[in-house]
Amino acid sequence: MKKTLVRVLSFFIMFTVMSAIMFGLAACSKDGTKKAGTEGEPVTLNFWHPYVSTGDTRTVSFQKAVDDWNKSNPNAKVVTDALDGETLKSKLKTAIAANEAPELFFSLGAGFLKPFVDAGKVLALDDYLKDGTLEKIELSCLTGCTFDGKIYALPADMMFICFYCNTELFDKYGLKIPETHQELLEVIKAFREKGVTPMTVGVKDRWPAMLYQNIYAAQLMGVKGIMDCLEKRASFDTPEFVKSAALVRELIDAGAIDQGDMGLSRDEVEERFLRGEIPMYYNGSWVAGRIESGEYPVKGKIVAKKYPAIEGAKYPKNYQGGVWDVFCVNANLKNPDVAVSALKFIDYHYVKNLYEAGAGIPSWKLENPDESKVNKLTKQMMEFTKEGDNFIAWDVILVGEDAQNHLDLVQELFVGTITPENFAKEMQKRLNEK
């Protein structure tokens, strides 16, 4: 009897030990993959994003989408980590290289995302979109998400770079909103004579300044022309490209912005426009939400316009717009189904929230959006996207050091430490001849 009891106890102990060992092995992965949850198993999904400004329409819209997911999916909680744009880009590069990226993350599309895709760090989503999701997305918005025929990200809202004009200030001084570059120069001069700063640009952040040179180049060279340069099939050192830089200098020399703008960020200068001090502001569709929020005195006083056309340009209707921001799933997940489901839900509802808040143009075919909430500025911008060719920001198209070199050179052009001719030569040298 004692021997039988000993055998039973020995077997029980051995079974318990082996079960613990096997469980431990199952919980770990030799290939270092993360577990994104299995059916019925609680899971936490970390999501890095750049929406750091409390109260900003993008921040509110994104967080609401996350909160709605968490309420409906208590066993698959999404935990967000907000980092400002440059910090996020730097941290993401480091984390991906070290296989420490979160389950879900924001990225710029096209050139910024490509190295991550090439390294096999981003999950291809094609198989997960066959449930009807693909048909709900505007296909034109997937360009910056697609590499070698596969989709690696979902698009955030479609953006439009808009020429915002304060009608109150134009009416006050009896001036007409400019439609051409020459008219813009004349309006700049007229506002200066009245003691009003005509425009404002956060040159310190570089990318707001880049928008001006990019739109001039697109009007002069066409989208194919600029893409040939950006993809190293053609030279930047051409008369058209030099002129795109020269037109920027015409604005600066005419007194379009205050010299103090050279050391200010986008957020700092934008406040001046929102307070009603600046009559013209060239920036993204996301600003519309702030304009019409009721928090600033400019509500109802701003109209959305296309950027003034260059007289005699071959492509005067071209515009800056499309999808720049995208959301991705870490490829290093053992069970990515839950992560993909969360991303699809959050992206769709984020885009819908943004549209209804008047701060974004939909990249999804929305079901029954509340059109009564959509402000007039967003509707005006959507009309502008119906004609002309579009292109996205060059720092999104360009990869790595090329993007930084372009931004640096644009900043130098604004500050005046480089001529238009040398700007073109340096673009060719630093981006295409290295």
What is the reported pLDDT for 35?
Answer: 55
Range of the structural domain that residue 110 is part of: 43-158+323-367
Q: Is 19 a domain residue?
A: no
Look at residue 19 in the predicted model and tell me its pLDDT: 45
> Does one domain contain both 216 and 255?
yes
Is residue 215 pLDDT above 80, yes or no? yes
Q: How confident is the model at residue 54 (pLDDT cuts 50, 70, 90)?
A: confident
Based on the fold, state whether residues 250 and 392 are members of the same structural domain: yes
Give the mean pLDDT of the chain: 91
Per-residue pLDDT tens over the stretch 238-267: 999 999 999 999 999 999 999 999 999 999
Q: What is the pLDDT of residue 358?
A: 83
Establish if 1 belongs to a structural domain.
Answer: no
- Whether residue 14 is contained in a domain is answered as no
Average pLDDT rounded to a whole number, residues 180-192: 99
Residues 165, 251 within the same domain: yes
Confidence tier at 286 by pLDDT (50, 70, 90): confident
Range with the poorest average pLDDT among 212-216, 218-222, 328-332, 373-377: 373-377
Please tell me the distance from the alpha carbon of residue 137 to that of residue 153, in angstroms, as a whole number.
Answer: 12
Flag whether 8 is in a domain. Answer: no
- Domain co-membership, 270 together with 404: yes
- 194 and 256: one domain? yes
Q: Residue 78 above 80 pLDDT? A: yes
The pLDDT assigned to 36 comes to 57
C-alpha distance from residue 268 to each of 111, 199, 398 (Å):
28, 13, 27
The pLDDT value recorded for residue 27 is 37
Beta-strand runs (E) in 330-425: 390-391
Name 319's bridge partners. 390
The DSSP line for 79-104 is EEEE--HHHHHHHHHHHHHTT---SE
Judge whether 68 lies within some domain: yes
In a domain? residue 25: no
C-alpha angle 352/284/212, rounded to 5°?
155
Indicate if 253 and 359 belong to the same structural domain. no
Mean pLDDT score, 140-150: 94
Tens digit of each residue's pLDDT (9 = 90 or more) over 377-430: 999 998 888 877 888 889 888 888 999 999 999 999 999 999 999 999 999 999
Among 337, 367, 397, the domain boundary falls at: 367
* 275 and 335 assigned to the same domain: no
Distances (CA, A) of 58 to 69, 352, 375: 17, 11, 15
The predicted-structure confidence for 334-368, as pLDDT tens digits, reads as follows 989 999 999 999 999 999 999 998 888 999 999 99
- If asked whether residues 143 and 99 sit together in one domain, one would say yes
Report, as an integer, the average pLDDT of 292-313: 96
How many domains are contained in the chain? 2
395 and 252 in one domain? yes
Please give the model's pTM, rounded to 2 decimal places.
Answer: 0.79
**315, 327: one domain:** no
Same domain, 146 and 176: no
CA atoms within 13 A on the CB side of 371: 4
Which pLDDT does position 85 carry in this prediction?
Answer: 85
Tell whether the model's pLDDT for residue 123 goes beyond 70. Answer: yes
In this predicted structure, the answer to whether residue 192 has a pLDDT above a threshold of 50 is yes
Over 70: is that where the pLDDT of 128 sits?
A: yes
Question: Could you give the CA distance from residue 107 to residue 428 in angstroms, rounded to a whole number?
Answer: 27
Whether residue 32 lies inside any domain: the answer is no
Q: Is residue 232 part of a domain?
A: yes
- Distances from the Cα of 198 to the Cα of 101, 215, 412, 422, angstroms: 44, 19, 21, 28
Residues 120, 66 share a domain? yes
Percent of the chain with pLDDT over 90: 79
For the stretch 4-40, pLDDT in tens is: 444 444 444 444 444 443 444 333 343 445 655 545 6
CATH number of domain containing 254: 3.40.190.10
Judged by DSSP in three states, 115 sits in helix
Confidence (pLDDT) at 274: 98
DSSP 35: P
Determine the pLDDT at residue 106: 98
